[in-house]
């Protein structure tokens, strides 16, 4: 996979806004056609000039469908958003609309963008480690300290993984061992979440399943994939790292 900026030491000069900073990467999601989900991207470092000629800084929520054949590469998104720093918008919604338009064109799939003023409430859940033998069905559980490796930079990615299912009770030790097996696995956030989702369906015989990967931000952006057997998604965009 060839990318413009990820893993490169040098970065282009951010002199003015340009969609040319954006880079796409292909998904491997053909096996997920009958399932549902999306990716919440939170960009914490978006700045532009407002109608009073003052710089402002905002957090953006970007929603991308899991069924898009392409998605945006995160470092290119960081550079693209940074290129807005000297661009003036009398109406902030025009900035969000422009970003949505550029990203939708890049991945050939609808993308929504909005200013994020507060996150949704963190749902009540129980750590998998609290269950010595079996995790009861219809119980929202989480696994903190999840680790995987970026396949391009070899840098670690950290996350909290949330799992909900109405299936029969599952072996908690087996589940923890499975999630720990990702600690040296090279894959992107979306692919990790998807492979966990598929493995829980197939190897753990779980049904009515939702998996939510809440990843720690890097480069001012976090990526949070949801994959589910239900069209009505259980989770919203909450933040649980205390940042």
**Catalytic residue positions, numbered:** 150, 157
Contact 152, 6 (CB under 8 A): yes
The tokens of 162 are what?
């949330």
Contact 37, 71 (CB under 8 A): no
CA distance 202 to 190: 18
CA gyration radius for the chain? 19
Which letter does DSSP use for residue 130 in this model? Answer: G
Helix, strand, or coil here: 61? Answer: strand
Q: ∠ at Cα 94 (60, 42), nearest 5°?
A: 10
Query: Distance from CA of residue 79 to its chain's centroid?
Result: 18
Helix 189-202 with 172-180: angle, nearest 10 deg: 150
Q: ∠ at Cα 117 (61, 23), nearest 5°?
A: 20
Contact 215, 174 (CB under 8 A): no
Contact 21, 80 (CB under 8 A): yes
Contact 209, 202 (CB under 8 A): no
């Amino acid at each position: 996979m060839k990318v413009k900026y990820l893993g490169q030491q040098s970065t282009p000069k951010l002199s003015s806004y340009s969609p040319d900073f954006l880079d796409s990467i292909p998904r491997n999601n053909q096996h997920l056609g009958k399932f549902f989900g999306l990716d919440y991207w939170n960009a914490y470092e978006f700045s532009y000039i407002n109608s009073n000629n003052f710089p402002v800084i905002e957090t953006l929520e970007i929603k991308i469908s899991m069924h898009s054949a392409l998605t945006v590469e995160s470092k290119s998104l960081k550079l693209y958003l940074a290129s807005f720093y000297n661009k003036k918008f009398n109406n902030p919604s025009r900035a969000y609309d422009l970003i949505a338009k550029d990203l939708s064109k890049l991945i050939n799939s609808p993308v929504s963008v909005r200013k994020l003023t507060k996150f949704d409430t963190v749902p009540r859940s129980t750590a998998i480690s609290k269950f010595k033998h079996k995790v009861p069905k219809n119980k929202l559980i989480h696994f903190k300290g999840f680790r995987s490796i970026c396949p391009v930079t070899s840098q670690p990615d950290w996350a909290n993984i949330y799992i909900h299912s109405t299936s029969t009770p599952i072996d908690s030790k087996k589940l923890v061992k499975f999630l720990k097996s990702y600690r040296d696995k090279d894959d992107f956030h979306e692919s990790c979440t998807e492979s966990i989702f598929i493995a829980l369906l197939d190897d753990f015989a779980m049904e009515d399943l939702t998996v939510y990967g809440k990843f720690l931000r890097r480069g001012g952006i976090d990526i949070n994939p949801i994959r589910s057997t239900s069209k009505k998604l259980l989770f919203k965009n909450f933040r649980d790292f205390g940042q």
